[in-house]
Amino acid sequence: MSSNNPARTISERFSTEAKSYRNYIGGRFAEPSASQIDVLNPATGAVVGRVPESTAQEVDAAVRAAKAAQPSWEQLPAIERAGHLRAISAKLRRHRTELADIIVREQGKIRSLAQVEVDFTADYIDYMAEWARRLEGEVLTSDRPKETMLLLRKPIGVVAGILPWNFPFFLIARKMAPALVTGNTIVIKPSEETPINAFVFAELVAETDLPAGVFNLVGGKGPGAGTALVKHPDVDLVTFTGSVATGTRIMQMAAENLTRVNLELGGKAPAIVLADADLDLAAKAIHASRVINTGQVCNCAERLYVEEPVHDALIAKLKVLFEQTRWGDPSETDDLDMGPLINRAALDKVEAAVRKATEEGARIVTGGNVTGQDKGHHFEPTLIVGATAAMEIMRRETFGPVLPVQAVKNLDEAIALANDTEYGLTSSIYTSNINSALRASRELKFGETYINRENFEAMQGFHAGRRKSGIGGADGKHGLYEFTETHVIYIQGQ
Ligand code: NAD
């Protein structure tokens, strides 16, 4: 157990008092940082807690700790590394309700979804731990007599994980678990919007026997701590989830040291509804996908293409569902479909996108307004028809509870419009015709396609974006391999 773990009771750790947290570096909670970031509840504006605004020196200390710990961590049998991961997931399960409360308070997620996030995170860590006995190399056939060729998979070294705010807790595991089971060590920098869940995660890690320096956490903003981490010469892989703009910047900075990058970026997922679809199923799934996490999900349906014969019927069904959506402050009420947007800038962005769409000729069927402005950043669930391919609302990620709809003549047109985008993460299609579904699977140019359902990717899948939605991917065997590099051994026999 780590030595200078601040002696805090469970109720103190999870109390609703705004507290100041400390970086977790080399198995110790560091001295308080000179500068702190106030973390706000997006539903109320109240300060939830304070985290360090780390300097380049503090980031350097974390990377050095990770580097020092890596060789002996790599030497541990993988099954022992997995044991450490399982000890962490057990801690998360023990405190599942309190952890969900934190996510509700700092991210504005509704409680049921926050609970799913915590439980999925624990399951994800266990899933990655299972790979300990399954990581395999290869024996290759040599061109030379008496030679044996081995391809080994090895850890990359020190991983930097830079996180967004929309699934802040799960993203810790998505970076940490595959990194650690394959023998890397890690430094995590959570989003400055939602860091507290990560600092509490570190406190739970500190209560396990994980060797010092294997998991490190630094608070801070993008241009400060984030930049210092990406540019650090001892970081071997930057795994980043966030916006295209930041991903581009990170790739540029990583190029200075030729540091590897794994980028999970934004999306503008098209949903296609054909005339033979089950319209009730499609309406329910697309509505849920649009309001989940208040529309702040990278692989939610962000634009809808509907075959003309069923356009009006589908819109009527969607209108009912959009108008039934319950929203409010999730820290006060459980019975909600969505909470606030993350901050004022997000609210302004969504409002501007809707205004621009109407100026360009689209029509609001329902919603379209900022609401509850004095308390939280709420925007009404908004359904828009008459959208066209040229409109910005069909081209740029909105990241809010807004669904623009375009009528199409047929599947040909729908696929062409869906593919006409700079993103390439997720897509979906609703049809009862197997041939249409198969054709969409062949021709949609996205990392994932959902047929007759919307997002929630599986941990054994491979969540990867094409074009500007990213480089590399996460989850499953292929996601695990992103944290390894190969080493070919030639053994010349006599
Ligand atoms: P963001 O790019 O603003 O910030 C993400 C992280 O990058 C934060 O921790 C931030 O501090 C850091 N950062 C910012 N500037 C930096 C810099 N110059 N150097 C280093 N780090 C820097 O993204 P966000 O607003 O937190 O997240 C929302 C975005 O994330 C959306 O575009 C969404 O689609 C995307 N996202 C993608 C996936 C996926 O799997 N593809 C999943 C979740 C979210």
Q: b/e string for 176-200 if b means 16 or more Cβ within 10 A?
A: bbbbbbbbbbbbbbbbbbbbbbbbb
Give Cα 133 distance to the centre of its chain.
27
Q: How far is the CA of 380 from the centre of ligand 1 (A)?
A: 24
Span 167-186, pLDDT tens digits? 999 999 999 999 999 999 99
The answer, yes or no, to whether any atom of ligand 1 lies below 6 A from the CB of 218, is: no
Q: Which residues contact 98 (CB under 8 A, 6 or more apart)?
A: 10, 13, 14
pLDDT at 75 over 50: yes
CB count, 10 Å around CB of 488? 11
Q: Map tokens 């981490």 to a residue.
A: 229
Q: Which two tokens stand for residue 203?
A: 């406190």
Span 327-356, pLDDT tens digits? 999 988 889 999 999 999 999 999 999 999
Whole-number Å distance between alpha carbons of 346 and 46: 18
Whole-number Å distance between alpha carbons of 108 and 377: 10
The answer, yes or no, to whether any atom of ligand 1 lies below 6 A from the CB of 265, is: yes
Q: How far is CA 85 from CA 125, 281, 343, 371, in A?
A: 6, 38, 33, 43
Closest CA to 426 of 406, 397, 405: 397
Query: Using CA positions, which residue lies closest to atom 13 of ligand 1?
Result: 222
Q: Map tokens 């299972």 to a residue.
A: 130
The preferred substitution site among 162, 235, 425 for testing ligand 1, maximizing ligand atoms within 8 Å of CB, is 162
203 carries an active-site annotation: no
Residue extent(s) of CATH 3.40.605.10 domains in the chain = 10-264+469-489
pLDDT at 6 over 80: no
The preferred substitution site among 243, 457, 462, 469 for testing ligand 1, maximizing ligand atoms within 8 Å of CB, is 243
* DSSP 8-state code for residue 211: P
Q: b/e string for 54-68 if b means 16 or more Cβ within 10 A?
A: bbeebbbbbbbbbbe
Span 114-126, pLDDT tens digits? 999 999 999 999 9
The Cα angle at residue 114 between residues 243 and 29, in degrees rounded to 5 = 75
Instruction: Supply the pTM of this predicted model.
Output: 0.95
Share of the chain above pLDDT 90, in %: 92
Beta strand extents in 399-453 (DSSP E only): 402-408, 426-430, 448-451
Q: Which two tokens stand for residue 154?
A: 């090895």
The answer, yes or no, to whether any atom of ligand 1 lies below 6 A from the CB of 199, is: no
Residue extent(s) of CATH 3.40.309.10 domains in the chain = 269-456
Q: How far is CA 188 from CA 246, 254, 294, in A?
A: 16, 16, 25
User: How high is the pLDDT of residue 326?
Assistant: 94
CATH assignment of 10-264+469-489, among 3.10.20.30, 2.40.37.10, 3.40.605.10, 3.40.50.20: 3.40.605.10
What integer is the mean pLDDT of 82-90?
Answer: 98
- Catalytic residue, from 117, 192, 264, 302: name it: 264
Contact 452, 281 (CB under 8 A): yes
Q: Which residues contact 28 (CB under 8 A, 6 or more apart)?
A: 2, 3, 4, 212
Share of the chain above pLDDT 70, in %: 96
User: How high is the pLDDT of residue 456?
Assistant: 87
pLDDT at 7 over 80: no
CATH superfamily of the 269-456 domain:
Aldehyde Dehydrogenase; Chain A, domain 2 (3.40.309.10)
pLDDT at 490 over 70: yes
pLDDT at 235 over 70: yes
Whole-number Å distance between alpha carbons of 286 and 295: 11
Whole-number Å distance between alpha carbons of 417 and 450: 17
Q: Which residues contact 349 (CB under 8 A, 6 or more apart)?
A: 398, 399, 400
User: How high is the pLDDT of residue 3?
Assistant: 41
The answer, yes or no, to whether any atom of ligand 1 lies below 6 A from the CB of 115, is: no
User: How high is the pLDDT of residue 11?
Assistant: 53
Span 138-164, pLDDT tens digits? 999 999 999 999 999 999 999 999 999
Closest CA to 200 of 47, 337, 91: 91
Closest CA to 410 of 305, 283, 281, 286: 305
Query: Residue 49 carries which side chain, given as an amino acid letter?
Result: G
User: How high is the pLDDT of residue 372?
Assistant: 72
User: How high is the pLDDT of residue 2?
Assistant: 40
Q: How far is CA 324 from CA 320, 336, 338, 376, in A?
A: 6, 11, 11, 20
Query: How many residues make up the chain in this entry?
Result: 494
Query: Model confidence at 191, in pLDDT bands (50, 70, 90)?
Result: very high
pLDDT at 374 over 70: no
The preferred substitution site among 39, 171, 175, 191 for testing ligand 1, maximizing ligand atoms within 8 Å of CB, is 191
Q: How far is CA 334 from CA 41, 320, 326, 337, in A?
A: 16, 22, 10, 9
Whole-number Å distance between alpha carbons of 322 and 383: 7
The Cα angle at residue 445 between residues 463 and 124, in degrees rounded to 5 = 10
pLDDT at 89 over 70: yes
